[in-house]
Amino acid sequence: MIKNNTSEIIKKHRLKLTKALGQNFLTDFSVVKRIVDASDIDKDTLAIEIGPGVGSMTRELAARSAGVAAIEIDKRLIPALNDNLSDYSNVSIINEDIMKADIDTIINKYREVYNAKSVKVVANLPYYITTPIIMRFLEEVKGVDKMVFMVQREVAERMVSGPGTKDYGALSVAVQFYSKPEIIFDVPPHCFIPQPEVHSTIIGLDILSEPPVEVIDRNLYFKIVKASFGQRRKTLVNALSNSGFFNKTKEQIKQILKEMGKSENIRGEVLTVAQFAQLSNLMINEHQKD
């Protein structure tokens, strides 16, 4: 039976965890098991683990999957990982920065090595760089079926929030454009070494094969989303016209909103993912008329 040996490995290798890298390692194996349960990993799955630490969750992933590609930025942890995972022949440790690594190449290589049919990503993410990592996988990486992340509770709440709520923002729209997010369970601070100052949440993202809305220009779509939430207290008309992203007058934007059946006084925070798509497409269509 696999057990959590995080504390033993840290002590054995005399490791000092680095606050700058956001290192908070899980010590509660029941939490590790629930995370892997939530990932739906099986013997046909390549598991991509970001930040394996000393490999406690990696062991559970290896026991259930076709193989694991574990990407760890901290070279000081590599000897501990090799030691802790020595019983598993289906784990490949990659000492790289996840924000710089060629993830598509890694996925393609190890999918073939382990003869995997699906790809799942699992990670206890450093809180200081959570959003950039998630957005990189959503926007740039191909072939992933599901992602299960440990994130700060507030970030998880933002990802699942809907229009008109205080947590709804650009991250909500982006995550829901690419995936179907679901909060799975919370993890209290005492489950970690060292204990973080915040509560954590496990969130699952089922990656959509196609976005839920049709968008003519994805770049324009996200510019509109960014501008809409960049000045939350302003009306959508003012936020868009003041952003510098668009060559539209306030009157033209008001006309587009009228076509959508929306008041010129609405704010971006009330628009759904679909309505942002409608607005984006109408901006292009109006431009073609000019």
Same domain assignment for residues 91 and 23: yes
CATH code: domain of residue 233: 1.10.8.100
According to the annotation, is 24 in a ligand binding site?
yes
Q: Is 16 exposed, middle or buried (0-12, 13-18, 19+ CB in 10 A)?
A: exposed
CB 46 within 8 Å of CB 118: yes
| Predicted pLDDT at 8 | 67
Same domain assignment for residues 71 and 116: yes
CB 227 within 8 Å of CB 240: yes
According to the annotation, is 171 in a ligand binding site?
no
Rounded to an integer, the average pLDDT of 275-288 is 83
Same domain assignment for residues 101 and 125: yes
Q: Does residue 188 sit in helix, strand or coil?
A: coil
pLDDT at 92 over 90: yes
Rounded (to 5) percent helix, strand, coil in the chain: 45, 15, 35
Same domain assignment for residues 64 and 178: yes
Residue that terminates a domain, selected from 207, 236, 271: 207
| Predicted pLDDT at 288 | 47
Domain that holds residue 237: 218-289
CB 126 within 8 Å of CB 151: no
Same domain assignment for residues 161 and 82: yes
Q: Is residue 83 part of a domain?
A: yes
Kindly report the number of other CB atoms within 10 A of residue 286's CB atom: 15
Same domain assignment for residues 230 and 179: no
According to the annotation, is 97 in a ligand binding site?
yes
Axis-axis angle for helices 170-178, 130-140 (nearest 10): 40
According to the annotation, is 285 in a ligand binding site?
no
Same domain assignment for residues 106 and 149: yes
Structure-token match 């868009």, residue found: 240
Q: How many residues would you count in the chain?
A: 290
Same domain assignment for residues 52 and 152: yes
Q: Is the dihedral of CA 135, 136, 141, 145 positive or negative?
A: negative
Write out the two tokens for 222.
Answer: 């996200």
Q: Is residue 213 part of a domain?
A: no
Same domain assignment for residues 115 and 256: no
Q: Is residue 212 part of a domain?
A: no
According to the annotation, is 26 in a ligand binding site?
yes
Q: For 120, phi and psi rounded to 5 degrees?
A: -125, 145
Same domain assignment for residues 196 and 227: no
Structure-token match 């598509």, residue found: 104
According to the annotation, is 84 in a ligand binding site?
no
Same domain assignment for residues 142 and 225: no
0.95 surpassed by pTM = no
Whether the ω angle into residue 211 lies within 30 degrees of 0, i.e. cis, is no
Q: What is the pLDDT of residues 171-216, one digit of tens each?
A: 999 999 999 999 999 999 888 777 777 889 999 999 999 999 999 9
In whole angstroms, give the CA distance from residue 57 to residue 26. Answer: 8
Q: What is the pLDDT of residues 31-46, one digit of tens each?
A: 999 999 999 999 999 9
Q: Is residue 1 part of a domain?
A: no
Q: Considering its fold, how many domains does the chain have in total? A: 2
Same domain assignment for residues 58 and 154: yes
